[in-house]
Chains A and B, each alone.
Chain A
C-alpha cells in the first residue's frame, strides 16, 4: 500500500501558482472561476513507517513557516472541483527523484533502498462551473494527456473521509528482455509494413539494402559465429533506422539534386552541403591562410573557433520541434539541455557560457478550430517558454538573446531553436582540446542519467511529419540538475586528463553516440546488460536507442578508468563501463553473452546510397497590393509596433536569467528604463579580461514566400548586421546555419516537393553568396526537413525557415554600443539605402498582402558600410546604433527614441532612398543593411569623415521633448506621437 503526503499553504499565505492558474483559466480558456488553490502531493510507494512519513513531511518536504501537511488524509476541505494531475508511468519526475534522495538522507538510508516517490498536484477550484468545464480546464491547461494523467473530483459528492486513493505510476515492463529476429526476405508490401509498424521511417529501398546486406555470404558466415543468422534482429533494424534517419544522416542535404531554375536551365547539385555550406567555409579558410581562426568545423558536435591564444569558443544551434509540438514544456526543456550537451561534448569538452533561443509559433490569439493533436499556440508558447526557462536557468547558463517569430503556418509544428556556446582552454596538460582521439582498447563509459523508455524513436519520429501514430514515447522531460552535476564532474575530469574523448547521447541514444565515436577507433563492442536502467523490463533494442536525457558517452584510457570512476562516485554521478572501442571494423552489441547487433561499421555508416531528388523553381507571383497611403501614419506606426513580430518580448526575456556567470555587457534589454530591444548580446566569458563574445541571430521566413534565396540572404545579413550594430569587428564572425524546412521530397501527399527543394537549393545558393562575400564561415549547422503536420486531409507545412546565428569576438567590450538614443541634441543618422522593398514585409502583412518586391542584399555596399560603421564605433563617435529590420525605419526610429526616453524630429526627405514616393513606403520598407544611429554633435565631423563613401545621412535630431515628430516627403508633419504612447503600443501585445 502506498502512502500520500499532501503539502498546502497555510491560511493567509498567498498561493502564487494558484493565482497564476486562475488567471489562465479566465484569460486563456474564458471560463470564470473565483479561485484556485494548489496542493503538492508526494506518493511514496511503500515501506516507510508512520513516524518516518511524518518526519519527511515536516522537513524537507514542507516549509514550516508557510505550509502545512497531512499524511494519508486529505488537506482539501471544500472546493467545487478538484483536479489532480500526475505523471504517467515512466515519465521523468524530477521532484519525485529529489524527494526520494532527500528522504533517504534524512532517514539515513541508501537512495537505492528507499521506495520510489511520485509527485502530483491538486488544483482546488472554486467557481460555478460544470463537469465539462472542469474537464476543459484539465485537458486544455493543467494536464498533457501524453505524459500526465488526471482525476477530476466533484466537490458536491466528495467524501473527505475516504480521501483520494494513492496512485503509483510504476512502469510495467517486460519480465524477460528479449531480442526478436525479423525475416526481411519477404515481399515489398510486408517489408514496408515492417518499417511503418516499428516507426523506423526507412523507405522500401532502404529496407531492401538491409535485406541484401544480410544475404551476403561473408556477412552471413561472420554472423553465424556470433550466433546470428540471415534475419535482422530488432536491435539491428532500430539501430540502422536511427543511423540512417534524416535527422542523423541529413540525406536530403547530401542528395544528388537535379535543379531546374524555371528558365529552362537545369543543373546537377551533388550534395547541397558540400556544394554550398562546406564550400563556403573551405573557401573562406583558404582565403584566411595562416590567419585561419577556425579550428574544427562540421566534424564534431559543435564548431570551434579561436577566441585568443589561450581559449577557444564553441557554438551549436539545434531544434526540438516535433517533441515541442506534442509536449511544449518537456520538448523545449529537452531541447535546451540537449543542445547544451553538444558544445559540452565537443573536442575535449567546453564550459557553457550562453544560450540563445529562437521560437517560431502560430499567433497566441489563434481563434480557429484546432486540428486533432494540435495544442493551442498560446499553450505551446507558454510551455516552450517555461521549458527553456527551467532548462536554461537551472543549468546556470545565461540566455543572452533570442527572438520569437509568428506565422500561422507554425501551427502544425512550432520551431524551437536552442543554441549554446562554450569556452575551452586551447590546451589542457599540453594537449590541444579541439580534437578528440579515441584509440582501440579505450573503455566506453556512459555517465549521467539512467536509461528508460523515454525518447524512444525520437530521431525517426522527427524525420517524418507529425501524424496520428506519432509515438508518445518520443516525448520526454529533461532534468537540468542531473545534467549540471554531470557537467561539473566532467569538467573536473577533463582538467585532470581522465578521459580521451566524449560525445553526448542525443538522437539515437547509445546507438548513435557509440556508433559515431567508434568511427574514430574502428569499431566497438558493448554489453547493454551493464547499462543502468531507470526501471527493469527494457528490451535490448530499447536500451540501445533510448534517448533518455543527461547522458554522455566517454572514451576512457583503461589506465585512468579507476580514477575516473572514483571521481564520479565522489561527485555523486553515475558512470558505467559498457565495453570498449576496437579496431574490428564491427559495430558489435551484446546483451550479456548474446550478440544482438553485428553490423560492419562500413555498412552502418556508408551503406546508404545517395538519394536523387528533383527540384523545380517556379517563382510565385502575388497581386501587388493597392491601398492608399494612410492619412494617420501615427496610427499606422502604432499598429506596426503592436504586430507580434515587432512588439516587445520583455515578458519572456525577464523570465530568463540573462546575467548569470557575471559577464553580461549588452543585455537583451537596453535603454533608460531597461526595456529597449537590444540587437545583439555581448558577454565577457573571462572575468579578468575585457575581451567579449558577440551573439546575434537573423531569421525572416516571410521573405521565403517570394524567394527563399532572399529569405536566406536577408537572414544572414540580419545576423551580421545585428552583431555589427553593437560594435562587433568584421574579421572574426563565425556563422551557424539552421535550416527548418517542410518536406522537400515529392510524394503523393506532398506533390510540391520539387518546389520546396528548389527553395532549399536557392537558400543554399544565397548562403554561399552572402557568407563568402562577408567572410563569415559556417562552423556548424543543422537541418530539420520534415516540419509538416498531416492528419486526415489536413496538411500544415511551415514556411521554409533559415535561422542564421553568428558568434563574434570583440577585443574590448567597453567599446560596445546600445540601441537607445542617449542625449537631447544628438544627431540622428540613417545608414544604408532604402528601396521600395515592401514584398513580404510586415507593412504588407498588416494589409493582408504579400507583394513581390522582396528585400535584396547588396553585399558590396553592405560590407563597405559595416566596415565604416565599425571604425566609427571603435573611434567612440557613435552614441547609439540600431538595426533596421521588421517594420523598417519607422519601427527602428520609434524604438531608438522610446528606449532612450527621448523624442526625435525626423525629416523623411533626408533619408537616402531610391524610387520611393510614398511616406509609408519610406517608413516601412524592409530594405536590408540599414541602421539608425545617433551621434553627439561634437563627433559629427569625425563620424561623417569615417562614413565618407557610404550611404549615410543625417535625418534629424534627438529632443528632450518626448515626441516622435516626422515630416514627410511633401514637407508636412505626417506623424507626431508621444513616445510613451508608441512604447505602450509596442509593449502591450505579449505582456502576459
Chain B
C-alpha cells in the first residue's frame, strides 16, 4: 500500500514563505502538511521524526542580521528540545540518516549551507564547505531566472526536468565554495543541480542579470550525494499556477506552474517507499 506522505514546513523567527510552501506540498499530493512554528519543535510538542519531508522555506531568519541564516543555524545547532536532552540539530541528523527528504528554498537553502548539511560531502552534515553571500550587485533583487537542470545529478527533486523558470528574491544568493577541491568534489558528486542560464536552458551563464548574483559556476541549487537534501535560491513555491508567471497574459502556458514538479517528485519519491 502506498505510503501516506507527511510533510512539515518549519516557520518562525522571520520565515515568511511557509504558506505557499505548504500549499505546494498539498498540491503535490502530500496527505498531511503541517506548518510548524519552531517553538513547537523546541518545546517537544512535535518532532521531525513524525514526518517524511522537511521544508525549510524562504524568509529572513533573525533578520539575516549576522549574515543570511547565520543566527538561524546557530539556533538549530545549540537550542535544546525541552524534556528530551537533545538538540534540535539531533533531530535533523536523524532525519538525514533515515534517508528522508529535505528541501531548503532561499533562506532555507542558506540555512542548510550554513549548517553544513549541504553539500554534505563525505556524508558529513555539520561541516560548512560552501556559502551563500551578498549578490555582486550589493542589492536585493526580485527577478525571474532560467535554470538549467543537471540531468546527471542524483537529485530526487529535479528528476525528469531539463530546465525551469522561477523567481529569485534575495540579497545574499552568491554561491561560493571553500576551495578548488570542494568545487571538484561537488561537481564529481553531481551535486550541482541548478545553474543560471539563458532562456534555452542550455549553457550556464555568469552574465548579469541572467545570473542575478554572480554565483560561482552559475550555481543556483545543490544537493547532497544521495540527492535527498536539496537547496536552491529560486522559489519553486512561487510558481505553482500559470498566473504566477510574469508573462502569463501573453504566453500560452500549462495550467500548472513549473515549480510544482519539484514538490511532486519529492512526494512521489516518498510514496514509492524509497525509505
Contact = CB atoms under 8 A, between A and B. Distances in A.
Interface of A: 13-14, 16-17, 19-20, 59-66, 94-95, 97-99, 101-102, 105-106, 108, 389, 393-396, 479-481, 484-485, 488, 492, 570-572, 653-665, 667, 669-672, 674, 684, 687-688, 813-814, 816-818, 820, 822, 880, 900
B138 interface: yes
20 contacts: A14-B136, A16-B133, A16-B134, A16-B135, A59-B70, A60-B71, A63-B131, A65-B178, A99-B66, A105-B75, A393-B60, A394-B64, A395-B16, A488-B37, A653-B142, A655-B140, A659-B238, A661-B19, A667-B246, A822-B250
Contact of A669 (B66, B138, B246): B246
- List 6 A-B pairs, minimum CB-CB distance, nearest first: A396-B16, A662-B20, A20-B138, A98-B65, A60-B74, A16-B138
Contact of B169 (A106, A479, A571, A659): A659
Contacts of B208: none
A756 to B, nearest CB: 39
Contacts of A63: 67, 70, 114, 128, 131, 133
Interface string B214-238: 1000000000000000000001011
A654 B139 CA distance: 9
B207 to A, nearest CB: 15
Interface of B: 11-17, 19-20, 23, 37, 39, 43, 58-60, 62-67, 70-71, 73-75, 78-79, 114, 128-131, 133-144, 167, 169, 174, 176-178, 214, 235, 237-238, 240, 243-244, 246-247, 249-250
B212 to A, nearest CB: 10
B19 A662 contact: yes
A900 B136 CA distance: 30
Contacts of B12: 485, 488, 571
A917 to B, nearest CB: 37
B63 A101 contact: no
Contacts of A488: 11-12, 37
Contact of B237 (A102, A658, A662, A684): A662
Contacts of A14: 134, 136, 214
A571 B243 contact: no
A670 B78 contact: no
Given A16-B138, A674-B143, A105 B78 contact: yes
- Among B19, B43, B237, B240, max chain A CB count under 10 A is at B19
A65 B238 contact: no
A658 B128 contact: no
A659 B244 contact: yes
Given A63-B114, A65-B131, A481 B13 contact: yes
Nearest to A650: B143
B17 A396 contact: yes
A378 to B, nearest CB: 16
Given A102-B62, A105-B79, A662-B23, A484 B14 contact: yes
Contacts of B138: 16-17, 19-20
Contact of B14 (A61, A62, A389, A394): A394
A389 B63 CA distance: 12
Given A106-B78, A660-B169, A481 B60 contact: yes
Contacts of B130: 65
B268 to A, nearest CB: 21
A62 B114 CA distance: 11
B16 A660 contact: yes
Contacts of B70: 59-61, 63, 102
A662 B238 contact: yes
Contacts of A665: 243-244
Contact of B39 (A65, A570, A814): A570
Q: Max chain B CB contacts within 10 Å: which of A17, A59, A97, A669? A: A59
Contact of A16 (B131, B137, B143, B250): B137
B115 to A, nearest CB: 11
A672 B249 CA distance: 10
A66 B133 contact: yes
Nearest to B116: A64
Kindly name the residue among A480, A571, A670, A816 whose own CB sees the greatest number of chain B CB atoms within 10 A.
A571
Contacts of A669: 246
A98 B23 CA distance: 31
A813 B243 contact: yes
Contacts of B141: 654-655
A469 to B, nearest CB: 34
A16 B74 contact: no
Nearest to A64: B128
B66 to A, nearest CB: 5
Contacts of A657: 140, 142, 169
A572 B39 contact: yes
B238 A664 contact: yes
A707 B224 CA distance: 66
Given A63-B70, A65-B176, A672-B247, 5 more contacts: A16-B138, A63-B131, A389-B140, A481-B60, A674-B246
A102 B66 contact: yes
B235 to A, nearest CB: 7
A105 B237 CA distance: 32
Nearest to A105: B78
Contacts of A663: 20
A571 to B, nearest CB: 5
A333 to B, nearest CB: 12
Contacts of B64: 394
A656 B171 CA distance: 11
A571 B13 CA distance: 9
B66 A60 contact: yes
Given A106-B78, A488-B11, A672-B250, A660 B65 contact: no
Contacts of A572: 13, 39
A660 B43 contact: no
Contacts of A570: 39, 43
Contacts of B174: 16
B146 to A, nearest CB: 12
A754 B223 CA distance: 69
A393 B63 contact: no
Contacts of A108: 78
A488 B23 CA distance: 18
A660 B71 contact: no
A776 B116 CA distance: 55
A671 B249 CA distance: 9
A13 B176 contact: yes
Most buried by B among A16, A59, A66: A16
Nearest to A107: B78
Contacts of A671: 247, 250
B87 to A, nearest CB: 11
A489 to B, nearest CB: 9
A660 B17 contact: yes
Contacts of B75: 102, 105
B243 to A, nearest CB: 5
B73 A60 contact: yes
A848 to B, nearest CB: 35
Given A16-B134, A102-B71, A571-B12, A481 B17 contact: no
Given A572-B39, A667-B246, A822-B250, A687 B20 contact: yes
Contacts of B13: 481, 484-485, 572
Contacts of A479: 63
A62 B70 CA distance: 8
A13 B64 CA distance: 20
B253 to A, nearest CB: 11
A481 B74 contact: no
B20 A661 contact: yes
B150 to A, nearest CB: 22
A424 B136 CA distance: 40
A880 B250 CA distance: 9
- The residue in A60, A108, A654 that gathers the most chain B C-beta atoms within 10 A of its C-beta is A60
A485 to B, nearest CB: 6
A101 B43 CA distance: 18
B65 A816 contact: no
B74 A102 contact: yes
